[in-house]
Structure 1
């Protein structure tokens, strides 16, 4: 079991709904104003974290709105007081020296509540149309590993000289360094072998895409067994939640979203065509019928309040610390989860901690 307390986060709606884009209960809305309101609501409800995914153009349909991640993260850092702000980053879009400086600035604005989530890209047009080019899967991870090693060392206040395959950094130091801890936290996504090597060597938290408990437990065991320096690796899980009074009511809501998601078939065909087929996340998502992104309902958090709470406890026992959650309609379901699930799992965790201490 994870010895770290349970934490719950919410995906910011940077490119609209996560389950279905034709939902009358949640019209498409990816503006800064909505994202700001949602993160402030999440903080007020007691959520611990928010994840702001990074895309420069909408990955589903290019003429739809897309929030910019890092400017939004800086604004949210100033507007919030408690919630962790995680900004995703694709290494090819920013030089590591520039990104390390941005990360340190947001870390200091937030007073030690910032983290970056390293992802190595799957949406080919985003890089190809910019003239950057879309490297092969393993080459992207090799680039990302060198990139994050530079960012981590600069963000730690080190004066750095580095000459590698992709970067030549000479006698570089960033000031002020982190005023609140050694450096901002580093989350890493991806489940391929290069991704596992990268997170074991350079990550603080591994984000696992939603999938059944046994698969998640196997992934945790595999990566946790790898040698690494520093503190033990921690684990997070993406999941789409549908919780109701009864299992039957939850399944009814699940079927509603599944039916709506069928209307997005043309959009999903575009996404498949634009996706690197070697990306393990996409291979995993094709294994089952589900709603949501990054595994969605494959994690099984669909059912009565008691059912969902029990499954969360099982994932926590397997080592998951942070649940990064998706909902639809977002605001009302996020509130429902906080009112119904938080007391069922957070209260028990507090009692367990008290009994041990």
Structure 2
């Protein structure tokens, strides 16, 4: 099992706490990323949004791609998973940019491909906003071009959305970046099973996650493609007693519809196709992280992780607040103990 985390490019993850003690700054995320390597975390996901989805549209948000390039130069082991939205990037140009960052990092770059959902953001930045299935059709072409120019030269492509003529991309990446994506609609799952290497999922129970993994495995096997990696989003709360866990849950889930990011949340619901309804409590933290259930004592969380591992989960993408303090606590209480137990049984 690997443990990753979301880089706090929005200054936090809680909808109802204006100041989480996490600066929206390069200095904070540089310190966090460098310490995370010592704490046993193996990857960091950098979300790509030009407006702040958590704290409100006028709050600061760091750019994903310049941040990724900077982190590539100041870390040594961390997989740098950068979210990318095809509607915001020409595929051949992004492939060039990504290849360079991969070389800076010595082969540690990966992509998390996201089909855009936020109409207001697209409008404010002059980007065309497309309907759900059209976005996935565009993404499929986009991925064809990106992977082709990474693998060979003199690429020509004529599609509905993109055209490339005799493209030569040099230097190539140190290795072909791993491609992740997430989504619960049929359009998303079809694209992911045919064109991606990993499937990342919103938080949910081991049973629900196991069903999604089994479905994706069936799709891959039917296509004769190699196995995928599977990751799950989670919000972590580690405390010594259940009473302390409950107190923290009460603190972070009293969000109201007046919160600064609530309108963004409504647009997200309108622009996605989900398998289950989302509650206001789910909205309190992003990506349905509380549903995963990594809130408890160290022993309870270790048991929960084992349940996810049993259904095929390979890694978690954690959120917590305040992040430096809580990531160190999770490392000391869970990651180190989990790793020691695995070594003893190996």
Which interval holds the TM-score relative to the shorter structure? over 0.9
SS of 2:34's partner is helix
- 2:252 aligns with one of 242, 249, 257: 257
Are positions 1:248 and 2:248 aligned together?
no
Give CA deviations for 1:238-290 in whole Å, capped at 9, x if unaligned.
0001111122221221111113x34x733233213433514135955338646
SS of 1:237's partner is strand
Are positions 1:41 and 2:28 aligned together?
no
- 1:222 aligns with one of 215, 219, 226: 215
- 1:58 aligns with one of 52, 58, 70: 52
SS of 1:78's partner is helix
Change (3 A) 1:244 1:31: same
Are positions 1:73 and 2:68 aligned together?
yes
SS of 2:110's partner is strand
State the shift of 1:316 in Å: 0.9
Change (3 A) 1:117 1:127: same
Q: State the partner residue of 1:187.
A: 180
Give CA deviations for 1:152-209 in whole Å, capped at 9, x if unaligned.
1212235321111111111212111123x3x011011222111111111111110000
Name stretches of at least 5 consecutive residues in structure 1 with no aligned partner: 1-5
Distance 1:298 1:69 in 2: 26
Are positions 1:30 and 2:5 aligned together?
no
Distance 2:137 2:319 in 1: 30
* Kept after mapping to 2: 8 A contact 1:281/1:295: no
* Kept after mapping to 2: 8 A contact 1:285/1:294: no
* Kept after mapping to 2: 8 A contact 1:290/1:298: no
Q: State the partner residue of 2:321.
A: 328
Distance 2:173 2:268 in 1: 36
Distance 1:17 1:258 in 2: 14
Are positions 1:313 and 2:321 aligned together?
no
Q: State the partner residue of 1:203.
A: 196
Are positions 1:127 and 2:116 aligned together?
no
* Kept after mapping to 1: 8 A contact 2:118/2:271: no
State the shift of 1:311 in Å: 0.5
- 2:149 aligns with one of 136, 150, 154: 154
State the shift of 1:128 in Å: 2.0
Are positions 1:239 and 2:231 aligned together?
no
Distance 1:302 1:280 in 2: 27
- 2:134 aligns with one of 124, 136, 139: 139
Change (3 A) 1:104 1:299: same
Give CA deviations for 1:308-336 in whole Å, capped at 9, x if unaligned.
11101110111110100001111111000
